[in-house]
Amino acid sequence: MAAETVRKACAPPPAHRLWVIVLSSALCVPCVLTPPAHAIEDVWSRLPPGLPADSLGSALRRLEAAGPAATSAAAAFAEGQFHHARGEYRLAADAFGRAAARLQGLEHTEARYRQGLAWLGERDPGRARAAFEEVAMLSQPFRALAQLGLARAYALAGEPDQELTVLRRLLDRPAGEAEPAALARYAALCDRQHRASEAHAARERLAKRWPRSFEAALLPGAAEESQP
């Protein structure tokens, strides 16, 4: 597989689709595909055409080491995307951390957010939680997604009560693109704690507000209702 294939795989979707949810065994791990931060330059065009995918990481590291600062930050960010796409979460977290250290403002926040996702993939809830807490505190655009990530970090750590508290706080108001997954997870947790009325209310809100979402399609009876 050449670098062009990986470049396309790492390319972000249109700006109106901020994220997708990937189910990883029993743990719902948010895999967020965000629009590129405007200050992060495109480094993919700097790579030689036909470069094998296995050589892409080392090529990006050479770009990162060569500088200048903007190129180094962009190369580290791209390397994080590359490793995350390959399931190499520790390498992705390290790369996003280097990118975050070189970036400011929303771009720094995005790199830290993606680092949190990588730490979730690496099954390191403590580091994931630290990243998401910083993002939730600093960035309004990423706040709801960061809170969802924080909830998943608590789930990974085996702290369902803390997870439920974060989700409840997140769902106190409209939560944008984070809302369908948050509602589905909240309902599942309420089921486990025998809070039938809260679970029903969450699923009802999901079906009403997000009828075309992936999570709504998994609701009981959704398949029958979609039949003509």
Each residue's pLDDT tens digit, 76-96: 999 999 999 999 999 999 999
Mean pLDDT of 182-198: 96
Number of domains in the chain: 2
Are residue 59 and residue 148 in the same domain, yes or no? yes
Are residue 60 and residue 154 in the same domain, yes or no? yes
Residue 71 half-sphere exposure, CB side, CA atoms within 13 Å?
15
Q: Which domain holds residue 205?
A: 171-223
Give the pLDDT of residue 108: 94
Q: Each residue of 21-37: pLDDT tens digit?
A: 333 333 444 444 444 44
Q: Which domain CATH number covers 41?
A: 1.25.40.10
The confidence band for 40, taking pLDDT boundaries of 50, 70 and 90, is low
Are residue 180 and residue 116 in the same domain, yes or no? no
- Structural domain includes residue 164: no
Choose the final residue of a domain: 131, 159, 187: 159
Are residue 58 and residue 114 in the same domain, yes or no? yes
Check pLDDT > 70 for residue 50. Answer: yes
Are residue 85 and residue 179 in the same domain, yes or no? no
Report if pTM > 0.85: no
Give the pLDDT of residue 226: 47
Q: Each residue of 140-177: pLDDT tens digit?
A: 999 999 999 999 999 999 999 999 999 999 999 999 99
Are residue 182 and residue 101 in the same domain, yes or no? no
Are residue 76 and residue 100 in the same domain, yes or no? yes
